[in-house]
Chains A and B, each alone.
Chain A
Amino acid sequence: EAQVTQNPRYLITVTGKKLTVTCSQNMNHEYMSWYRQDPGLGLRQIYYSMNVEVTDKGDVPEGYKVSRKEKRNFPLILESPSPNQTSLYFCASKYRGPSYEQYFGPGTRLTVT
């Protein structure tokens, strides 16, 4: 089954404790992306990757890191989480090109206290 998986689905952590949210897709997509969703603000892009070893900042990259060592994986790293990073996070993937649909993972609900 074609899918994007994320782990963990739910995470409660404390300020400053490094964490990683994993993302994996099995559709051989070149393009992968991370979004955060906050009430009234829609989906805002954090980082994206056009291919292996190619990553770039989205609209709200501060406080986040990513890496793309393999085509299928695109982990999101929060080196020192803060309460304003409490949010719902989605990983997504698609083929390169503006006319391809994006496939989203199930989401990770992160709470930073």
Chain B
Amino acid sequence: GAGVSQSPSNKVTEKGKDVELRCDPISGHTALYWYRQSLGQGLEFLIYFQGNSAPDKSGLPSDRFSAERTGGSVSTLTIQRTQQEDSAVYLCASSSSRRGGDYGYTFGSGTRLTVV
């Protein structure tokens, strides 16, 4: 597609339920990132995929969080047993090169997750 697509745009879930957030990067972009942005805060790195390499999971806050990237394209971020502190906007970004470069990183519109 022309841009990074994320779905759903909004998700309200009950505490303790599992949720899946989807990111469809720009075609051909090898690097894919997930970030979390809490209200009024900066971006917190979660996980990074580069091509077929093993992902960098160093930012995942707990073992309730996991992500996969199938076929080097679409990525799914899964949060198990959601907690209220998981409420945030989850942003996905992709890049044609791992270094970002002159064109930076292209972000999706995000998924706003609310845990009630």
Q: A and B bound?
A: no
Which residues of B line the A interface, CB within 8 A?
none
